[in-house]
A and B are shown apart, each in its own frame.
Chain A
Amino acid sequence: MAESSSPAALTLALTSQPSVPGMDPHHQDDCPENGLGRGNGETNGPPAKRSRPTPPLSPITAAEIAEEFSHHDLSVARINNGSFGSCPGSVLSAQAVWQRLFLRQPDAFYFNHLQPGLLRSRAIVKDLINAADIDEVSLVDNATTAAAIVLQHVSWAFSEGVFHKGDAVVMLHYAYGAVKKSIHAYVARAGGHVIEVPLPFPVSSNEEIIREFRKALDLGKANGRRVRLAVIDHVTSMPSVVIPVKELTKICRQEGVDQVFVDAAHAIGNVEVDVQDIDADFYTSNLHKWFFCPPSVAFLHSKKCSSSAPCLHHPVVSQEYGKGLPLESAWIGTRDYSSQLVVPSVIDFVNRFDGGILGIRTRNHDKVVEMGMMLAQAWGTFLGSPPEMCCSMIMVALPGSLGVSSEKDALKLRSLLREEYRVEVPIHYHRPKDIEAGRQNGHSGVTGYVRISYQVYNTVDDYYRLRDAVHKLVNDGFNCGMLPSK
């Protein structure tokens, strides 16, 4: 399996090489030197269409799935795939092979294996998200890093006078906490004006979201101000709802918003991602949440640096600075890049399932809706959004009697469920202002929601355990006020 950087050989490498480096390490190190061995963003011929599966002759069985996730704590009802994701044993094994390859002879790894491996992963991502060009795809640690990249660029624009003090950046109220802080750290600090779009919750239609978004844009443009950037979640984290990003992006274009950044941390492997269709300027998603990669890896999709598209930079500057974000991100100093290198192995894994990743997320969605409805019925509560505004996660209202009256209560209740009932599920606290609107909609008394996830390793029993745990708490007259204040 000779690797070299000649065009024919690179195509060969992409299409015929197994997902992990050869199991014969001696042979790997005998590969002819390929000079600087840097993937320079060129593909020659179409890369393997690995993301479109041929239907497996015999799909993965339940027993095989259980084996793949046997490293999970099996005593825990693990219904929080959304926070930290999950990684099957076969992908972890592939990762170990890459890690050992580096440790064995790191110089040979650096010169011969790293860049071709990253290029291969990028090519797969490009197909997965329907990007036009591999040069638009960068691999980074996580969406948090991608946000820093985009927002640092905005910060420079303010400092360098391209944007003016007071120009606005719009974000959703339910934007992820880290992203809100990043906007503060880079935009507000540089003199930008930050506008939050309040979102109704519980929510019942896309129209409610669109309406609030339009109002926020009007506010942004008040007094002749420019809206320089809109940061829109594809799937909000807490509370979790699928946002109509394509429509909102279109509205942004119509309303003269300079740039749109879709923070889709949860999206890939969870909802459909077609970046050409959504047509944002920047789009990021984590591959370790719903796409079975080990911690951690994400992609950032952004147009190639040109007169019409800004030059993004990785904040950690290496000797690759100035060669475009994909190459800058492919070397940010010595570190473990193995989680970025196993994307081909993940494709192998998902292709073992009926319908590949599309099949997986369709079934995940159906199951989480089914389980959500089961819980809502059992508890006499309701869902936070209609099924079509959900993905593989859904919000289910907790009985009001539990008395979740603060974020602290939500955390403590979550700990209680983890420690006493061995159920792992995040809890969202619903603020009083929102409750008033809720009361008007007949949602009185509810202040807390669980966000349940469904991934291939889950079984219905996980959700029955949550159901019963909450039932018990309610029957015992439990109230969050009873928990120690520390």
Chain B
Amino acid sequence: MMSPAGASGLPAKPLQPASTHISAAEIAEEFSHHHPSVARLNNGSFGSCPASVSAAQLRWQRLFLRQPDEFYFHHLKPGILCSRALVRDLINAVDIEEISLVDNATTAVAIVLQHASWSFAEGAFRKGDAVVIFQHAYPAVKKAIHAYIARSGGHVIEVPLAFPVSSDEEIIREFCNALDRAKAEGRRVRLAVICHVTSMPSVVIPVKELTAICREAGVDQVFVDGAHSIGNVKVDVQDIGADFYTSNFHKWFFCPPSAAFLYAQKAPTSPPLHHPVVSHEYGNGLPTESSWIGTRDYSSQLVVPSAMEFISRFEGGIEGIQERNHESVVKMGKMLADAWETLLGSPPGMCSSMIMVGLPNCLGVSSETDALSLRSLLREEFKVEVPVYFHPEEDKNHGVTTGYVRISHQVYNVEDEYYRLRDAVLKLVQDGITCSMILSE
């Protein structure tokens, strides 16, 4: 018989020896399942999960397989509630009823946008009412806007993001311009979808300021897509003041794929949010709806406490991790920019645990296809994993950097990995390799 689950519904785990902070050797052990010969500089895309959290996940999975009915009636709900309570505290929400657990930010976006879609269908919003998004919003989010907003008759306004960017003011100015455009066209702005940390190119957006601007301008609702945020930048939902906020736990918060939260400020006047996958819990509030969307593996949502335990082994907890990641990635970014004689995509103050570093122009990144093939080449020939961003030239302004790498720093990274990237790019430059050569092979 398995060890009985505790009051919180968590399966018991082996006792840990008392220790101070986690050591470098222990960190390496926790991530020893990573491919040993890959310079893994892309934590941003798919995240990472330490072995101790994976082990906790396995215990939950085994608990279900052992006696699923018992799991469903006795363990699942308390476990989800426990995770939600921790999230509430983590992000400084007021009430646990504001916290739902979902698969990922992509799902959270579908929830919020389907809600807006119903508002159009049911006449609460009128055709032509506007939704504001960033031009550099994540591609999936842009498609969701098309699928739910444009399809319903909503008007989409895109806010351009200057890149490279040098100050918050540039971003705020463009955002205000977009709101002014809406006003000039006599459009009511029903929803603003604001990234907290953009994906490609990656920049930290001043969401608190933008949310305040939205309130002043009479925007109905603000939705912050913080997919990269939790564990990467500070998240205080009361301080930011948005209506909805989502972030993925599997990117920077050491959870297995996949788990995310959707925060929804309690708003008695608006119709409730619903999970698009409807179960018998429909109508019991989004948190409860999301906690049961049919038989599936909920274990990645149940290990949030285990992820927090892992984090607590680090000096300064998650803040300490965030700070050190940020410092390291800035240091490595500058090292690369110096070595390649290029530039950073934004000042350090506008970066998180990721930073954009310009690639030498002679590599000739002139399209998204080029960027992908260069990324593949780096993966296969040099065993360096790093996403490559293609930045279109404006007005064919020659000399403008068109290719960037987005480097990440997470606790498992070591400096040698960045030197390998440095040297790989220097070699390509030395050998006169261009992206058009890679494609023609």
Residues of A within 8 A of B (CB): 25-26, 29, 32-33, 35-36, 71-73, 75-76, 78, 80, 83-87, 92, 100, 102-108, 110-111, 141-145, 147-148, 151-152, 156, 159, 177-178, 181-182, 184-186, 189-190, 286, 288-289, 294-296, 313, 315-319, 321-322, 332-336, 339, 415, 418, 424
Contact = CB atoms under 8 A, between A and B. Distances in A.
B278 A144 contact: yes
27 contacts: A26-B37, A35-B372, A78-B67, A83-B72, A84-B68, A102-B46, A103-B34, A105-B35, A106-B46, A141-B293, A142-B295, A144-B293, A145-B277, A147-B278, A151-B278, A178-B282, A181-B278, A181-B282, A288-B295, A317-B147, A318-B140, A318-B143, A321-B144, A335-B104, A335-B258, A336-B300, A415-B73
A181 B283 contact: yes
Interface string B25-38: 00000000111011
Contact of A334 (B151, B248, B295): B248
A110 B54 CA distance: 20
B98 interface: no
Pick the 10 closest A-B CB pairs, nearest first.
Answer: A144-B294, A333-B106, A315-B276, A106-B46, A84-B68, A182-B278, A317-B144, A296-B296, A335-B258, A142-B294
B49 interface: yes
A122 B106 CA distance: 24
Contacts, number: 197
B42 interface: yes
Given A319-B139, A319-B140, A181 B280 contact: yes
A321 B103 CA distance: 18
A315 to B, nearest CB: 3
Given A107-B46, A317-B140, 15 more contacts: A73-B66, A84-B295, A87-B65, A110-B46, A142-B294, A151-B278, A178-B279, A296-B294, A317-B106, A317-B109, A318-B143, A321-B147, A335-B103, A336-B258, A415-B73
A185 B274 contact: yes
Contacts of B261: none
Given A141-B277, A318-B143, A185 B69 contact: no
A83 B68 contact: yes
B146 interface: yes
Contact of B376 (A33, A92, A148): A33
Contacts of B140: 317-319, 321, 333
Interface in B25-84: 33-35, 37-38, 40, 42, 45-49, 54, 62, 64-70, 72-73
B160 to A, nearest CB: 20
A178 B69 contact: no
Interface residues of B, number: 71
A321 B143 contact: yes
Interface in B258-284: 258, 274, 276-280, 282-283
Contacts of B54: 103
A324 B370 CA distance: 26
Contacts of A288: 295
A88 to B, nearest CB: 10
B282 A107 contact: no
A333 B247 CA distance: 13
B386 to A, nearest CB: 9
A197 to B, nearest CB: 20
Contacts of B152: 159
Of B1, B65, B106, B144, the most chain A CB neighbours within 10 A belong to B65
Contact of B103 (A86, A333, A415): A333
Interface of B: 1, 33-35, 37-38, 40, 42, 45-49, 54, 62, 64-70, 72-73, 103-107, 109-110, 113-114, 118, 121, 139-140, 143-144, 146-148, 151-152, 248, 250-251, 256-258, 274, 276-280, 282-283, 293-297, 300, 372-373, 376-377, 379-380, 385
Given A106-B45, A333-B103, A296 B297 contact: yes
B408 to A, nearest CB: 12
B143 A334 contact: no
Of B46, B48, B62, the most chain A CB neighbours within 10 A belong to B46
Contacts of B274: 185
B293 A145 contact: yes
A178 to B, nearest CB: 4
Nearest to A36: B372
Nearest to A110: B46
A191 B196 CA distance: 38
Nearest to A107: B385
Contacts of B256: 103, 336
A159 B104 CA distance: 28
B257 A71 contact: no
Contacts of B107: 316, 332-333
Contacts of A36: 372
Of B105, B121, B294, B385, the most chain A CB neighbours within 10 A belong to B294
Given A334-B104, A335-B104, A141 B67 contact: no
Contact of A71 (B65, B118, B251, B283): B65
B271 to A, nearest CB: 10
Nearest to B282: A181
Contacts of A151: 278
Contact of A72 (B67, B109, B373): B67
A415 to B, nearest CB: 7
B51 to A, nearest CB: 9
B104 A424 contact: no
A288 B276 CA distance: 21
Contacts of B278: 144, 147-148, 151, 178, 181-182, 185-186
A190 B152 CA distance: 13
B66 A107 contact: no
A103 to B, nearest CB: 6
Contacts of A142: 293-296
A294 B380 CA distance: 33
B35 A334 contact: no
Contact of B296 (A25, A83, A295): A295
A194 to B, nearest CB: 14
Nearest to A148: B277
A141 B296 contact: yes
Contacts of B373: 35
Contacts of A100: 33
B66 A80 contact: no
Contact of A313 (B70, B147, B376): B147
A35 B374 CA distance: 11
Of A143, A145, A317, A424, the most chain B CB neighbours within 10 A belong to A317
A143 B65 CA distance: 20
Of B1, B45, B377, B379, the most chain A CB neighbours within 10 A belong to B379
Contacts of A336: 256-258, 297, 300
Contacts of B106: 316-318, 332-333
B97 to A, nearest CB: 20
A78 B282 CA distance: 29
A85 B296 CA distance: 11
Nearest to A335: B258
Of A76, A100, A103, A190, the most chain B CB neighbours within 10 A belong to A103
Of B67, B250, B277, the most chain A CB neighbours within 10 A belong to B277
Nearest to A104: B35
A317 B110 contact: yes
Of A102, A151, A336, the most chain B CB neighbours within 10 A belong to A336
Contact of B33 (A72, A73, A103, A178): A103
B67 A295 contact: no
A428 B50 CA distance: 44
Contacts of A415: 73
Nearest to B250: A334
A87 B64 CA distance: 11
A424 B279 contact: no
Contacts of B147: 313, 317, 321
Contacts of A85: 68, 295
Of A32, A288, A332, the most chain B CB neighbours within 10 A belong to A332
A322 B147 CA distance: 9
Contacts of B139: 319
Contact of B64 (A184, A295, A424): A295
